[in-house]
Amino acid sequence: MTRFLVTGAAGFIGHWLVRRLLKERALVVGVDNLNSAYDPRIKRWRLDQLAASSRFRFHATDVTDGRALRQAFAGCNYDAVFHLAARAGAPQSVREPGRYVVANAMGTQRVMEACSAHGVPKLVLASTSSVYGKAGSLPIAEDAPADRPLSPYAASKRAAEVLAHAHHHLHGLDITVLRYFTVYGPAGRPDMSLFRFIRWIREGEPIVLRGDGHQSRDFTYVADIVEGTLAAAVPLGCEIVNLGSDSPVRLCEALRLIETCLGREARVERAKVPRVDVRATWADTRKARRLLGWRPETSLTQGIERTVRWYEENRSWARDLILPE
């Protein structure tokens, strides 16, 4: 029976990855510190869904705590580790840059050390399209410059990538770095635009739209991201791979899809675009197809319908979640 460790197991992608692994009859150990980067009530909801399985074990552990992390590794002989734990959110990182550096860079270093110390053959490391900053051309391939991040969050994730390369070179750990592009879906992060749009429109609250709405994002459905993440758990040496929909959509168009799905019209309030934002993202996914045999399958319309359905089913508590500024 396969055994896996998933850090950030109560996070958005981590939750769905664990559910997918449990569906495959794997044994899964989850690690998460349930931090307050965004409302932890949704993290506890995700964790509650996983706790029903006898093949899931959870450690309420911070990945920067080397001693506690070693306990999660002890005697488990993992086939792979999926390191998804991170302090998320580019705007929030401007206010607390040090916490992001510690969580995302030092946390990754601690996980890699534990993998090597316990003979783990494979590490899949979650990164972000934010490392590209203001891309010079679109779509963005993996060899595009990633040395001009626009936020401490992006800088800390790029630091984790560079540390991964050094660790692979020195210790031989097989590492695949996945750069995720604007992931959305059921039980998503309440600081992300699509979750906020759904919540605001459904509850009759005004939409806060930053900028003119013509910014485009490569929205990628979480189930597709999970399949790509699983596909990356094969020997590749040390690689960086984009995971995105390869089909960017303007924010105003995504907003119209949500209005249609909810049967309600948004009341829009304009706000200034944060300095950490970019005008457009668009993933070049040819490398993912070549190395992983992966391609996204979910259209934005399908994904929004499923996300709205989840919100309606969980509205009794989801409508009260705190939305970070």
Q: Is the pLDDT of residue 15 over 80?
A: yes
Q: Where are the domains of the chain?
A: 3-318
Q: What is the mean pLDDT of residues 9-17?
A: 98
CATH superfamily entry for domain 3-318: NAD(P)-binding Rossmann-like Domain (3.40.50.720)
Answer yes or no: is pLDDT of 1 > 80.
Answer: no
For residue 232, the number of C-alpha atoms closer than 13 Å in the C-beta half-sphere is 30
Q: Is the pLDDT of residue 282 over 90?
A: yes
Residue 217 β-bridge partners: 249
Residue 44 has pLDDT above 90, yes or no: yes
pLDDT in tens, 113-144: 999 999 999 999 999 999 999 988 999 999 99
Residue ranges with strand state E in the chain? 3-7, 27-31, 56-59, 80-83, 122-128, 174-180, 183-184, 207-210, 216-217, 220-221, 238-243, 249-250, 268-271
68-79 average pLDDT score: 94
Share of the chain above pLDDT 70, in %: 100
- Rg of the chain (C-alpha set): 19
Q: Does the pLDDT value for residue 325 go beyond 90?
A: no
Query: pTM score, two decimals?
Result: 0.97
Q: What b/e string do you get for 170-187 counting C-beta neighbours within 10 Å, with b at 16 or more?
A: eeebbbbbbbbbbbbbbb
How does pLDDT run across 142-159, given as a tens digit for each residue?
A: 999 999 999 999 999 999
What's the pLDDT tens digit per position in 174-209? Answer: 999 999 999 999 999 999 999 999 999 999 999 999
* Confidence (pLDDT) at 324: 85
Q: How confident is the model at residue 171 (pLDDT cuts 50, 70, 90)?
A: very high
- By annotation, the residues acting in catalysis are 153
Per-residue confidence band for 24, with pLDDT thresholds at 50, 70 and 90 = very high
DSSP state of 204: T
Count the neighbouring beta carbons within 10 Å of the beta carbon of residue 280. Answer: 16
